[in-house]
Structure 1
Amino acid sequence: MNRPHQARDARLMGSRPEPARSGSVLGLSTTGFHEIAYVEWGPEESEVPVLCVHGLTRQGRDFDHLAENLARRRRRVVCPDLPGRGRSQSLSDPGDYALPQYCADMNALIARLGVTQVDWVGTSLGGLIGIVLAGMPGSCIRRLVVNDIGPYVSSVGLLRIGSYLGDMPRSFVTLARAERYFREILAPYGELSDEQWRHITAHSVRWDETRHVFTMLCDREIARAFRNPWLVSLNLWKYWERIGVPTLVLHGAKSDLLTHELCDEMLERNANATLHRFEECGHVPPLFELQQIKIVTDFLADKRPAGPD
């Protein structure tokens, strides 16, 4: 039997520095309270923290590489798990897996931090949440990074994602099988090292002592949200056009969710936005490599992003 060995490998998989702190805050949905988990990097006294919010089926540890880099620059970085992902609790009513709930939960987290401003880095779904919050009157977002998503998502793209969610495995017998799955489903990330794939895998599953399998840290009921009418051709242009803070759009050139045409329209409809395109990947640029991380850190440090606009 090699299960103890597998569990040990899950714990030891990553040699990267760990977050400085972890915590949780209570969010409130239509059916009750739920716990939102997060990790923190860098000095707690940093005046304007960076809030990093992940994509649809992912979790906050996807930002470890970026967060570690920012922490070395004396920035406080907070990486939450949205409800139903990572270490956060799932929602009792799957119908609550929607933008209004996510926005409310992130607002509760910002209130917990006790700050008046945040810089926001949002990947895919995290970018949609950032667009909504930054486009609302009185927003506390100072600078916004939107990673490979736009204010309009076609129903075709949403249906594809819904289909992918419906096929998501519940568990894996070994870590090797889990890693093969993530390498396949996240192939648009581009070329990653073996260590980076192991990092993704380690933080995407949890060892179940009762069932003796690695279970996914993502609630399959999230797929039900794709039956909600608000998801039929998601249109957030009214929020995008109201964003009055510096905004950086990151684009994976091969992305099937953020087209070149939509990028052009985003720049036309908001003069505060700039664009950086990564030719080597699709949806989404994972922000693991230094050349990708530098674009974000320079922007957050008020430097103009290098590279093609």
Structure 2
Amino acid sequence: MASLSPSIGGFLSPFEGGGVMVRWHEWGPADGRPVVCVHGLTRNGRDFDVLAAALAAQGRRVICLDVPGRGISAWLPLGSQYIVPVYVGLIAPLLAQLGEYDWVGTSMGGLIGMGLSGIPNGALGAGPRRMVLNDIGPFVPVASLERIRDYLSQPQAEYGSVEQVDAYLRRVHAPFGPLTDAEWRHLATHSAHRTPTGGWRLHYDPRIVEPMGAGPLADVDLWALWPWVAARPTLVVRGESSDLLLAPDAQKMAGSANVTLATIPGCGHAPALMEANQVQLILDFLR
């Protein structure tokens, strides 16, 4: 596991009612070339600790965001506001200050990165130089969205111990791949917070599912945006059994001149980016 400890950064992003606190864990020297890492739907920035420590060792400044509604960032006033365009707007002030940066996005984090690619140059600083899309693409099948909605719609449980959180994550996130006991415990420790009664709850706002329940779900089709995404060097990482990024779509993405596809064996949605070969893949790409 990572041997260093991150610092915490944050700012009050303008929003309805005065603003929303956006926070992150930061690794590496403040003057290093920035890398922004953004997690999946129910996850948080501590998922990237192993990758972030490795990037920091190369002199990179690594900002592992907690998207509002997760981790140490604030929750949004309404559940209906948990959508990608809102996330883009909330993190825009930070990105505008970074100049040129690289982007690593897992699942939802990749969708946010693709959303940034459609914004005119200069509006958010120099924009992403290179982009890593971890098990996400411009097409998301409705069947996978229904699966996610169904498990998120279940009442959020209170666990009696971090060991129980660990067991839950191993079951729900088994497609992350064959992680070690230490890696699962790391995820469990940072995936839950203590409750006033002394228990543990998962570290996200249960209302994040509300936009998925607003009407019938349908395929997400962002292929019209793909030329702007693929205009920069892009690494697509796909779990070989992923139901979110299907193999034909990954191959179609790889047909763009700037796009490299890497398929990770033994994983589904989404590779955890903790195993040494996965980390090295990204280190090499972001040089």
TM-score range, shorter chain: over 0.9
Which region of structure 1 is more displaced relative to structure 2, 235-244 or 118-127?
235-244
Q: Give the structure 1 partner of residue 157 of structure 2.
A: 170
Does the CA contact (< 8 Å) of 2:35 and 2:60 recur in 1?
yes
Q: Give the structure 2 partner of residue 227 of structure 1.
A: 213
Q: Give the structure 1 partner of residue 84 of structure 2.
A: 99
Does the CA contact (< 8 Å) of 1:43 and 1:76 recur in 2?
yes
Q: Give the structure 2 partner of residue 286 of structure 1.
A: 272
Supply the AA of the counterpart residue of 1:283: H
Question: Which of 40, 52, 59 pairs up with 1:67?
Answer: 52
The SS at the match of 1:74 is coil
Residues 1:272 and 2:255 are matched in the alignment? no
Q: Give the structure 2 partner of residue 128 of structure 1.
A: 111
After TM superposition, the score normalised by the length of structure 1 is 0.87
Question: How big is the shift at 1:228?
Answer: 4.2
Distance 1:67 1:132 in 2: 23
Question: How big is the shift at 1:18?
Answer: 1.0
Name stretches of at least 5 consecutive residues in structure 1 with no aligned partner: 1-13, 302-309
Q: Give the structure 2 partner of residue 52 of structure 1.
A: 37
Cα distance change, pair 39–68 in 1 and its aligned pair in 2 (3 A): same
Does the CA contact (< 8 Å) of 1:250 and 1:277 recur in 2?
yes
Q: Give the structure 2 partner of residue 143 of structure 1.
A: 130
Distance 2:153 2:5 in 1: 32
Question: How big is the shift at 1:137?
Answer: 2.4
Does the CA contact (< 8 Å) of 1:148 and 1:251 recur in 2?
yes
Q: Give the structure 2 partner of residue 9 of structure 1.
A: none
Does the CA contact (< 8 Å) of 2:85 and 2:115 recur in 1?
no
Question: How big is the shift at 1:32?
Answer: 4.4
The SS at the match of 1:298 is helix
Aligned residues: 282
Q: Deviations over 1:233-286 (max 9, x none)?
A: 222112212221100000100111111111111123x32211011112111110
Does the CA contact (< 8 Å) of 1:29 and 1:101 recur in 2?
no
After TM superposition, the score normalised by the length of structure 2 is 0.93
Cα distance change, pair 193–28 in 1 and its aligned pair in 2 (3 A): same
Question: How big is the shift at 1:160?
Answer: 1.0
Distance 1:275 1:26 in 2: 37
Kindly report which structure 2 residues correspond to 1:107-118, keeping only aligned pairs within 5 A, or say none.
107-111=92-96, 114-118=97-101
Question: How big is the shift at 1:100?
Answer: 0.4
Does the CA contact (< 8 Å) of 1:135 and 1:241 recur in 2?
no
Q: Give the structure 2 partner of residue 159 of structure 1.
A: 146
Distance 1:228 1:50 in 2: 34
- When the two chains are superposed, the root-mean-square deviation of aligned CA atoms in Å is 1.7
Does the CA contact (< 8 Å) of 1:136 and 1:242 recur in 2?
no
Q: Deviations over 1:94-136 (max 9, x none)?
A: 111001011112212223xx32111000000001111111233
Does the CA contact (< 8 Å) of 1:41 and 1:68 recur in 2?
yes
Question: Which of 215, 221, 226 pairs up with 1:240?
Answer: 226
Q: Give the structure 2 partner of residue 5 of structure 1.
A: none
Q: Give the structure 2 partner of residue 28 of structure 1.
A: 14
Question: Which of 187, 200, 206 pairs up with 2:187?
Answer: 200
Does the CA contact (< 8 Å) of 1:42 and 1:71 recur in 2?
yes
Kindly report which structure 2 residues correspond to 1:9-20, keeping only aligned pairs within 5 A, or say none.
16-19=3-6
Does the CA contact (< 8 Å) of 1:132 and 1:236 recur in 2?
no
Distance 2:3 2:210 in 1: 35
Does the CA contact (< 8 Å) of 2:2 and 2:49 recur in 1?
no
Question: How big is the shift at 1:223?
Answer: 0.8
Does the CA contact (< 8 Å) of 2:2 and 2:50 recur in 1?
no
The SS at the match of 1:172 is coil
Residues 1:250 and 2:233 are matched in the alignment? no
Supply the AA of the counterpart residue of 1:199: H
Question: Which of 281, 284, 287 pairs up with 1:295?
Answer: 281
The SS at the match of 1:286 is coil
